[in-house]
Structure 1
Amino acid sequence: MIHKHLRRALFTGVPVAALLAAGLLPATATAADRPPPGERAPSSVQDAKEGRGAALPYVEYEAESGTYKGTLLEADAKRTFGHTNFGSESSGRKSVRLDATGDHVEFTSTASTNSIVVRNSIPDAPGGGGIDATLSLYADGKFVQKLDLSSRHSWLYGNTDDPEGLTNTPRGDARRLFDESHALLASSYPKGTKFRLQRDGGDSASFYVVDLIDLEQVAPPAQKPAECTSITEYGAVPDDGKDDTKALQDAVTADQNGTIACVWIPAGRWRQEQKILTDDPLDRGQYNQVGIRDVTVRGAGMWHSQLYTTTEPQHAGGINHPHEGNFGFDVDHNVKISDIAILGSGRIRGGDGGAEGGVGLNGRFGKGTEISRVWIEHANVGVWVGRDYDNIPALWGPGDGVRFSGMRVRDTYADGINFTNGTRNSTVTDSSFRTTGDDALAVWANRYVKDPAQDIGHDNAFVNNTIQLPWRANGIAVYGGYGNRIENNAIADTANYPGIMLATDHDPLPFSGRTLISGNELFRCGGAFWGEAQEFGAITLFAAGRDIPGVTIQDTDIHDSTYDGIQFKSGGGAVPDVAITDVTIDRSNNGSGILAHGGARGSATLSRVTITGSAEGDVVVEPGSQFRITGGPAG
């Protein structure tokens, strides 16, 4: 197994330089004290300028920034991905490995808390499928509880960058090494509490890698609104391990039929083994593709009202499409869902014997749909907004005015939230995304619509979101359309692709009008992918075929890029008349501040652009390029 090989390397005469590069030599017991934010370069999404990123209810602590006894794991200079690189897949590109009894990570809280989330990695089982283990939590020196950790949803293997080419069966290199564990604590702890995550004698994994910790003061469960009807009145029983799908579906159907006014999901864990949808009386197609309409579902809070599944989607059977999964909701029109968690059963994106990851929320979405404060985890895709026109043409209609806010999407195998199939006038705001397996946020103006001349994705906005650690693809991407906006987001640690990308691959409908990238802050974005043959900038514009006109990049700060800060990539199309204004680019570690490839075509005008610390030049146009850059960086 991979982890055994790495552990043996410490004792088999591997050159010291190789061990240092892999981050496997012990570090000093105490990390250096962090100076106040004003005295150091911005390094984390929490350092982003005021008004950027989501207003998060938790405080995040990096393991390496506390005190620790263990091994500091760091990425190599190019932050190489896909070769069992713990450092490259870590927040801040650093984490701490606990090998011996007594190894620990310790930090002092800056706010009160009664919950904890730990982003961690423990070994896979020898034959795949993951293991369960515990890690011990202490507060001010007193034992609090054992935290339950699992590797069931991590560890994908293979040397291919094809997402369907990976496997859950151990072989060769591994990626998607981390997962998260979360727990509500029995007590609330005040600001200034010293928390310790420690490997004790009963903590049985052969190693633990601790990346980051979230501490949050979770409010008590909300009370049932008077107008709502609880799923317990339809037979659901919390925390008993039995399938509650029928009760949940019956309550939703009653609301859709006007029998009740609102569906209430009380505090508790509720098992769901079939997606909630509308049974199609005409049985059109092999799988049901009719979502719910005119329904309101409310919960007691995402920490309290949790839907979960134990069956992987491909084994669920029934009327569910295996790709769409057996958990969450199929949404067609005017649906309100708030204050719940949807915890999926996915373990892979696709392939590997037909295995699938499922989708938390999918469907046509229509008008009047609002989704707020929903936690989605372990899905293939968190939310897929839009259906292809040929999925029951009589019911087709784009998402229009759909609103997402306060979302928490974690540990997916593909996208976080994707606006597709003509979605328009829709927003994602004040939401957080971590460890997505494709674009955390995307507009894909695809062609599978009723009228490709008219049904083009447009006027969508991603505003004030925090995105961390996509392990494949982009932080935010726009593929075609017009009037789409990317504003005031904080994006960090993309493993291999840009933090923000505009592109015409995936054969989208054309770009037109204006596309705005404004007020964003990016940390350690970009990377190498596709056999490490392509190097991507923190912001990349890729006219793969069609042109990308009308782009404005403004009021943006780019820190510590793996390759270029802004990159114009070679392609068959052009990127004309890009306006780049009030932008700072600091530390392009293995590339240029701004780079135009030799095959890039188009032009950009720079105004009040500051570039420092570029490894390969501030503004570089490769020989033979038809791209023109005017204005130059500030002196």
Structure 2
Amino acid sequence: MSHHWSALLLGIVTGAAGLAAPAAAAPTPTAVTRAALDPALVAGRGANVPFLEQEAEKAATNGTVIGPDRTAYTLPAEASGRSAVTLDPGEWVEFTLPRAANAITVRYSIPDAPEGGGITAPLSVTTRHGTRTMTLTSQYSWLYNQYPFTNDPRADLLHPDWWITECACVPAAIEPKPVITKPFRPAHFYDEQRLLLGHTVRAGDRVRLTARDVPTTIDLLDSELAGAPKIDLSGVNVLLFGADPTGRRDSAPAIEKAIAYAKRAHRGVYLPPGVFQVNRHILVDDVTITGAGNWYTIIKGRAVALGEPAPDGSVHTGAGFYGRDAADGGSRNVHLSGFAIQGDVRERIDTDQVNAIGGAMSDSSVDGLHIQHTKVGLWFDGPMSNTRITNNVIVDQIADGLNFHTGVVNSVVRGNFVRNTGDDALAMWSEKTADSGNVFDRNTVQSPTLANGIAIYGGHDTTVSNNLIADPVREGSALHAGTRFGAEPFTGHLRFTGNTTVRAGTYELNWRIGLGAIWMYALEGSIGADVQVTGDHYLDSTYNAIMLVAEWGVKDLYSIDGVTFKDIRVDGTGTSVLSARAGGSASFENVDARNVGAVGVNNCGRFRFTPEGSEFALTDRGGNDGGWLGPYVPNVITCDDRPPVVAPPAPSRW
């Protein structure tokens, strides 16, 4: 149907303005989803957030629905649910709200500048109360090329001496030089913008988004009823020390003075409503800092180039709250809550400490923050212990959402919502010193554009439970455990319990195969810890639900042994339930599967294809419905390196 006739028909239904026509019956709200799924499919899993998610492709529009498509480097692939709506100037998408709201978040993409660096463009937001303008930007999106990426769409290969899958070659080593299409590997297309409406829109009212100057892709709308700003009369108010709530002057010195006074007076620090300019790290130790709520108190920074590199290698600084370095004893008793941190990070420089929260913080908490446009939302360098990261919203990061790095113990990451990270959304990296006793529970992860939703690199006694992970885009998947990046070995236990993944399992460019929704990778050592996967649901997996793999060069040295899978549901795979590409073993009990696209078990073992069977052994402990396992135990070779992908039907109630 053409845009003209779509608009005409919608105009008949909604009235010429699309908002004012009387309705014979209460309007039907645009479908509410969680990770673009029926919420009933993910009940009890993921973060308990105050907003409702509505996908643009399920809303009324005279624009063009794009997708679904899971091909990396495309707009649909990075959209929630792998689909969105593109609006030409003058076109609109309209959401009917399911409940009252006074605040919205729009996830969108607009074009980059021809030379990179981004543009700004208006978006009209219309409700029954009138029209407001939201200013969109692509200054924090659009990365290109090879890791660690560039903002320049015209750039030649950053590493011509690297293997390039597109030409199956090392470009610097051959003549004539291969032609690489520019822009090369565009990615990280989306950004978010929040808006307090200034009034309450009632349940059943409509919110219309209209593109004005440039083509605008709308992925989704989040709406919520934000409460009144919180007032803390007992806290030391930073305004008394000269902080500027208009954001025009640098407020870092005033905030630091308030912190010093509060510590002497044994009181907390209060950040009232306002925008406070902070362009460097504020050191925190033994202090409580509370805002008026993350819709109302905003710490906003700009990137500052350093005159010379800092001792840690940083060449920039920016807005952030940092504990002391672990080498200096770290910080303790730090409690941060109820404000937003908006950075100004537009490129990935791995040596830069331009994270929203950093350093080492023991016996501490970070709760209810909204973190955007920093490199990593929270990067902790231990040793440190007993820290709780709860109920935060972490979006639009250049790299990770959160990383427990080196000797972080007995800490909890719970109830956080993480969307659009440029690397692992939530990670634990036991480099040099093992992390231990940590829990990642009831978090929601959506659309990491690179790497994994939740990744565990070594360590011991780790639990990953009740999380919801959706739409990883490339070079990773939803759940991951790997002996990689110099991590200490896995010891003790590793538990994956009660998680749900959806549309996970990306295409690995170098291997040219699809990963699993959960995948375990033996690269620098065997995985021999007590690994138990219980109660997970793997929905609409692009390739495999489960992958156990060793790097080809070490496949005869390292194995993945004794992994147990129990009470698992697999609803839809493009290929297999299990792909085993390593030596080792696993057992399965009550693993039910349906809508499997290829052979239930793709067992390649160590690729020796011995007369005795595969080097990866399977144990059937009973109750494995769907017929996917029975013919393939204990170690039947069924190796099909790249089976055809059969897209499964949409997940449904079990």
Instruction: Return the TM-score normalized by structure 2.
Output: 0.80
**1:563: how far off?**
1.2
2:327 aligns with none
Instruction: Tell me how far apart the structure 2 counterparts of residues 484 and 97 of structure 1 sit (CA, whole Å).
Output: 42
Note the alpha carbon deviations across 1:6-37, whole angstroms, 9 max, x for none: xxxxxxxxxxxxxxxxxx99996799x99999
**Any conservation in 1 of the 2:333–2:361 contact (CA below 8 Å)?**
yes
Q: Secondary structure at the match of 1:248?
A: helix
| Aligned counterpart, 1:569 | 549
Which residue of 2 is the match for residue 594 of structure 1? 578
**Identity fraction in percent:** 31
The structure number with the bigger radius of gyration is 2
State whether residues 313 and 346 of structure 1, in contact with CA within 8 Å, keep that contact through their aligned partners in structure 2. Answer: no
**Within-5 A mapping of 1:119-138:** 119-138=107-126
CA distance in 2, matches of 1:148, 1:409: 21
Q: Which amino acid aligns with 1:382?
A: G
Matches within 5 A, 1:196-595: 196-199=208-211, 203-205=212-214, 207-226=215-234, 228-256=235-263, 258-259=264-265, 261-277=267-283, 292-312=284-304, 322=314, 325-331=317-323, 332-350=331-349, 358-366=354-362, 368-387=363-382, 398-447=383-432, 449=433, 456-496=434-474, 497-531=476-510, 533-548=512-527, 549-571=529-551, 572=554, 573-589=558-574, 591-595=575-579
2:34–2:53: 8 Å Cα contact kept in structure 1? no
CA deviations 1:468-514 (Å, max 9, x no partner) are 00001110011111110000001100002110000001111110111
Residue 349 (structure 1) shift: 1.3
Offset, 1:167:
3.4
**Which residue number in structure 2 is paired with residue 606 of structure 1?**
588
In 2, the alpha carbon distance for the partners of 1:100 and 1:531 equals 39
Structure 1: gaps (5+ residues): 1-23, 278-291, 388-397, 450-455
> Which letter maps to 1:95?
A
Per the alignment, do residues 409 and 327 of structure 1 end up closer, same or farther by CA in structure 2, a change over 3 Å counting? same
How many residue pairs match? The answer is: 557
Q: CA deviation at 1:313?
A: 5.4
Aligned pairs for 1:154-193 within 5 A: 154-158=141-145, 160=146, 162=147, 164-170=148-154, 171-173=182-184, 174-193=186-205
Distance 1:112 1:150, change over 3 A: same
Deviations 1:190-247 (A, max 9, x none): 1111111112xxx222x00000110011011101232x11111111121141111111
Amino acid across the alignment from 1:603: S
Asked if structure 1 preserves the Cα contact closer than 8 Å seen for 2:29 and 2:95, the reply is no
Given the alignment of the two structures, is residue 94 of structure 1 paired with residue 83 of structure 2, yes or no? yes
- Are the equivalent residues in 2 in contact too, given 1:263–1:297 (CA < 8 A)? yes
Secondary structure of the corresponding residue to residue 261 of structure 2: helix
Check the 8 A contact 2:68/2:81 in 1, yes or no: no
CA distance 1:343–1:187, shift in 2 (3 Å): same
- Displacement, 1:87? 0.6
- Tell me if structure 1 keeps the 8 A contact 2:117–2:151: no
Task: From the superposition, tell whether residues 46 and 312 of structure 1 become closer, same or farther in structure 2 (CA, over 3 Å).
Answer: farther
Taking structure 1 as reference, are residues 345 and 100 closer, same or farther at Cα in structure 2, changes over 3 Å only?
closer
- Aligned to 1:253, the other structure's residue is in SS state helix
Q: Is the 8 A contact 1:275 1:320 kept in 2?
A: no
Give SS of 2:77's match: coil
How far apart are 1:319 and its partner, in Å?
9.1
Computed over aligned residues only, the root mean square deviation of the Cα atoms, in angstroms, reads 2.7
Letter in 2 for 1:236: A
* Residue deviations 1:292-336 (CA, integer Å, cap 9, x gap): 311111100011110001235557988996368321111122201
TM-score (norm 1): 0.83
What is the alpha-carbon distance in structure 2 between the residues aligned to residue 444 and residue 305 of structure 1? 32
When residues 316 and 179 of structure 1 are mapped into structure 2, their CA distance, relative to the original with a 3 A threshold, is farther
Q: Distance in 2 between matches of 1:558 and 1:89?
A: 19
SS in 1 for 2:260: helix
Query: CA separation in 2, counterparts of 1:506 and 1:27?
Result: 55
2:189 alignment partner AA: L
Higher mean C-alpha displacement, 563-572 vs 85-94: 563-572
Change (3 A) 1:270 1:130: same
User: 1:25·1:72 contact (CA, 8 Å) conserved in 2?
Assistant: no
More displaced stretch, 121-130 vs 617-626 = 617-626
Q: For the structure 1 residues 383 and 187, does the alpha-carbon distance in structure 2 shift closer, same or farther, using more than 3 Å as the test?
A: same
Do the aligned residues in 2 keep the contact of 1:273 with 1:326 (CA within 8 Å)? yes
The one-letter amino acid of 2:193's match is S
Quote the offset at 1:168 in angstroms: 4.0
**Are 2:116 and 2:151, in contact at CA under 8 Å, matched by a contact in 1?**
no
